[in-house]
């Protein structure tokens, strides 16, 4: 949601849960039993209860040595009053559910693209995407003209992230970020992860001061991502734009600001309008596995089509002459899918460092575009 570039899925996308699959978080990890919804017997219909915010438990973060050192640095670096930071920290709560959600998947759990895609590319998101595109076609066209990012990619991201604003998160951003900045669970690169979240905590304070809002009023995902596009606070500062001309940036309530900001983010992370054709091309691979060293070469397109073909990768259709990466989408016990992905696919992975995420954005956007066309609505692009 930036540095969404480092959060493979640390940002929480609300998923419409399939009856055939266990609930998962944005990484594709199964949620812990305590956070899974239990199936209840049918009951008479009644008015839905309001959504309940996630409320943590009080701990005195201000007594923690690392917290005090952090606040000293922020006060000196950014000109905050130390007493104000102390008063703010006294109101912050520890959120154990955020800690549980960032824990890595159990060892040996197979990845399954087909199961993941069924959660992300479903009729609810497709129908909502058609409605969103119809209502915001002018802003989507303007964003494409300005930033070069097609409407279907922006629509795909906003659908995967929050179902077009339906699920923007109910954690207090300061609670989630402080918890992860100072109480991140034991995991590889724990110190790096905590440093990242400390940077986002500082960015939240800066953003709140800049926008003139109470930082405790900000709500978002378990990882501190904000608004319809689920931007991390540092990305709000760097990439969010007032695309509707209201005089302020509002990623929670303004679809137009969300559209412009997503396009600005992708353009700032390597999206190239001159890239020809689709962002991915289906491919098959030879049994000799000479292509295997081409996997896992980082989130970048580095190979010419002829290099891939020489290694035994055969695209279903001849792709344009540009650079590609070889992407593998594992399907549990079923055969792995292989795709050639150009640089724009890898620009999407800077939003969330996951092949599954980027492919779900591409496929959801495509499904929405085709659904609009089937309804007789031109894309206007």
Q: Locate the domains of the chain by residue range.
A: 57-108+169-268, 113-161+272-379
pLDDT value, residue 142: 98
- Given a cut of 70, the residues of the chain with pLDDT beneath it are 1-52, 378-381
Question: What does the alpha-carbon distance between residue 178 and residue 361 come to, in Å, rounded to a whole number?
Answer: 30
Contacts of 222 (CB under 8 A, 6+ apart): 12, 54, 95, 97, 98, 101, 102, 169, 171, 176
Question: What does the alpha-carbon distance between residue 138 and residue 260 come to, in Å, rounded to a whole number?
Answer: 11
Question: What does the alpha-carbon distance between residue 331 and residue 309 come to, in Å, rounded to a whole number?
Answer: 23
pLDDT value, residue 50: 53
pLDDT value, residue 379: 59
* Fold of the 57-108+169-268 domain: Helicase, Ruva Protein; domain 3 (1.10.8)
**Positions marked active-site:** 161
Work out the number of other CB atoms within 10 angstroms of the CB of residue 249.
24
pLDDT value, residue 133: 98
pLDDT value, residue 237: 98
Strand partners, 325: 341
Buried b (16+ CB within 10 A) or exposed e, 319-340: beebbbbbbbbbbeeeeebbbb
Strands 313-315 and 219-220: unpaired
Residue in the block written with tokens 């959060």: 7
Question: What does the alpha-carbon distance between residue 116 and residue 139 come to, in Å, rounded to a whole number?
Answer: 30
pLDDT value, residue 35: 38
pLDDT value, residue 54: 77
Phi and psi, residue 63, nearest 5°: -90, -10
pLDDT value, residue 10: 37
pLDDT value, residue 108: 75
CATH of 113-161+272-379, picked from 1.20.1560.10, 1.10.530.10, 3.40.190.100, 1.10.260.40, is 1.10.530.10
Read off the pLDDT of residues 45-63 as tens digits, 9 standing for 90 and up.
444 445 667 778 889 999 9
């Amino acid at each position: 949601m930036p540095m969404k570039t480092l959060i493979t899925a640390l940002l929480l996308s609300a998923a419409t849960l399939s009856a055939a699959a266990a609930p998962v978080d944005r990484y594709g990890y199964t949620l812990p039993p305590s956070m899974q919804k239990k199936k209840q017997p049918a009951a008479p219909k009644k008015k839905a209860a309001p959504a309940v915010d996630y409320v943590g438990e009080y701990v005195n973060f201000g007594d923690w040595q690392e917290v005090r050192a952090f606040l000293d640095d922020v006060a000196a670096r950014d000109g905050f009053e130390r007493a104000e930071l102390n008063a703010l920290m006294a109101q912050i709560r520890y959120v154990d559910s955020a800690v549980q959600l960032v824990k890595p998947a159990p060892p040996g759990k197979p990845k399954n693209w087909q199961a993941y895609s069924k959660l992300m590319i479903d009729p609810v998101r497709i129908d909502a995407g058609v409605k969103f595109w119809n209502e915001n076609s002018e802003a989507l066209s303007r964003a494409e003209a300005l930033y070069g990012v097609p409407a279907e990619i922006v629509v795909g991201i906003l659908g995967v992230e929050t179902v077009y604003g339906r699920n923007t998160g109910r954690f207090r951003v300061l609670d989630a970020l402080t918890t992860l900045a100072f109480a991140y669970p034991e995991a590889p690169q724990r110190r790096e992860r905590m440093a990242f979240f400390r940077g986002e905590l500082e960015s939240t304070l800066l953003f709140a001061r800049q926008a003139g809002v109470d930082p405790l009023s900000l709500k978002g995902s378990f990882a501190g991502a904000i608004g319809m596009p689920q931007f991390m606070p540092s990305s709000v500062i760097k990439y969010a734009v007032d695309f509707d001309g209201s005089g302020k940036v509002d990623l929670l309530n303004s679809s137009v600001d969300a559209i412009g900001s997503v396009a600005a983010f992708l353009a700032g992370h390597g999206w190239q309008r001159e890239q020809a054709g689709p962002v991915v091309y289906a491919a098959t691979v030879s049994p000799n596995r000479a292509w295997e060293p081409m996997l896992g070469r980082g989130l970048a397109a580095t190979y010419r089509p002829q290099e891939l073909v020489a290694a035994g990768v055969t695209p279903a259709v001849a792709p344009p002459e540009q650079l590609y990466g070889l992407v593998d989408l594992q399907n549990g016990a079923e055969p792995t899918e292989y795709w050639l992905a150009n640089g724009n696919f890898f620009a999407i992975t800077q939003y969330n460092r996951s092949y599954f995420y980027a492919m779900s954005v591409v496929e959801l956007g495509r499904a929405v575009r085709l659904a609009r066309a089937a309804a007789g609505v031109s894309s206007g692009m």
